[in-house]
Amino acid sequence: MSSRLTKPSQSVLENLHKGMGVRSDKLRDSLGEWLAWWQLDTDDVDNYILRAHLMHWVNEALAGLAKIEDRTIGEVAYNTTWCLDMRSLWYVARMDRLQELESINKNTAVAAYRNTISKHVVNMLARRRGLADRMPADLLQSYLDNERAYRYRPSQHSRSEPVENTWQAEEIVDSERFRQAVRGLRGTSIDDVIELFLPLRCQVPVGDSAQPVMARTPSLGWVVYAFTSLTLLRDYQQTTGNRTIAGLTELTGRELLARVRNLRDPASIVVDPAAGDKSDVHAMFVLPAPVIAMIDLAEVPEK
């Protein structure tokens, strides 16, 4: 890319929330010169790939906001939300639905978006530049798979789609919602993430004895690995060449916590462990053994 390329006007980015937000089918037309600035104007980048990059970049920017409520408002405003009741709505309708579902006053949400959230996200997007900011292939594929899963969701007025396809879509939504919450964690409180983890269905590797596979690590001692999708588990096996996995068992986070507590030795839990340079390390979640021991499972209602 020529070093003389002039940075496009940020006014284009200031309108990114309008209509369907980053899930618009006309991103390539509306973003114009920004595609060249980001080097996303090549033949191998279609609207789906462009959408995945914008969702990822916007979510990274939102993760830097101090208030959890502002992050939620931003996800709805830009339409990076995984909520099935919002993602197909236009901006105004999404903000109305946000008030209904999250009890966040619409006027307060709109003011927060205009005064704080939009300025932060626009500035962060404007700093992106070129191939160095392109998404790793495995993370890009994860975003594309998650979006395609919604195609299986049947209309509320139709039952023609197979039930298992509906379940698959819901599972992927839960997984990505959890991983996005982990990416936004800033070391203050993990209560919200734990609450998402408890009902989450995880794939847990087991050995020949049908017990969870345990590994000894220098920093955490004994750990049990869990994966929020089979794709992430397969990627981990391919990268690490792990041969100790004899099978899998599906457990909710709550069930896994209870089982780990009953192990002979204290153990930590690592969810979606990173392996290799292209892993989404920011979506890896670690529950140390002392934290596991303090979680009162009985006080958290089932979802």
**Mean of pLDDT over the chain:** 79
241 versus 224: which is more confidently predicted? 224
Cα separations in angstroms, 286 against 182, 245, 268, 271? 10, 20, 7, 6
pLDDT per residue as tens digits for the range 143-176: 777 666 555 443 333 333 333 344 444 555 567 6
Is the pLDDT score of 279 beyond 60? Answer: no
Whether residue 238 has pLDDT greater than 80:
no
Is the per-residue pLDDT at 68 higher than 60? yes
Residue 188 confidence (pLDDT): 42
In degrees and rounded to multiples of 5, residue 268 shows phi and psi of -95, 165
Per-residue pLDDT at 228: 86
pLDDT tier at 283, thresholds 50, 70, 90: confident
**Mean pLDDT on 96-120:** 92
- Radius of gyration in angstroms for the set of CA atoms belonging to the chain, rounded to a whole number: 21
Greater model confidence, 141 or 242 = 141
| Model confidence at 278: pLDDT above 70 | no
Alpha carbon distance 21, 123 (integer Å): 17
Helix (H) or strand (E) holding 110: helix 106-112
Query: For position 301, what pLDDT does the model report?
Result: 44
Name the band, by pLDDT with cuts 50, 70 and 90, for residue 64: confident
CA distances from 19 to 24, 33, 77, 253, 290 (A): 7, 20, 10, 36, 46
Using the predicted structure, report yes or no on whether residue 94 has a pLDDT greater than 90.
Answer: yes
Written as one letter, the residue type at 293 is A
Residue 84 · residue 21 · CB < 8 Å: no
105 or 298: which carries more pLDDT confidence?
Answer: 105
Per-residue tokens: 100: 């209904």
Write out the two tokens for 178.
């959890």
Measured CA to CA, the distance from residue 101 to residue 40 in angstroms comes to 35
Q: What is the pLDDT of residue 144?
A: 77
Averaged pLDDT for residues 199-212: 80
DSSP 113: I
Contact of 95 with 77, CB cutoff 8 Å: yes
Q: Tell me how far apart the alpha carbons of residues 215 and 240 are, in angstroms, rounded to a whole number.
A: 13
Contact 179, 185 (CB under 8 A): no
Cα 141 to Cα 279: distance, rounded to the nearest angstrom: 12
pLDDT band at 17 (very low <50, low <70, confident <90, very high): very high
Distance, CA of 235 to CA of 90 (rounded, Å):
36
> Which pLDDT belongs to residue 208?
63
Distance between CA atoms of 211 and 208, rounded to whole angstroms?
A: 8
Residues 6+ apart with CB under 8 A from 207: 213, 244, 245, 246
User: Per the structure block, which two tokens stand in for 45?
Assistant: 């980048």
Residue 16, SS3?
Answer: coil
- Residue predicted with more confidence, 196 or 176: 196
Q: How confident is the model at residue 191 (pLDDT cuts 50, 70, 90)?
A: confident
* Dihedral pair phi/psi, residue 259, rounded to 5°: -70, -40
Mean pLDDT of 241-257: 78
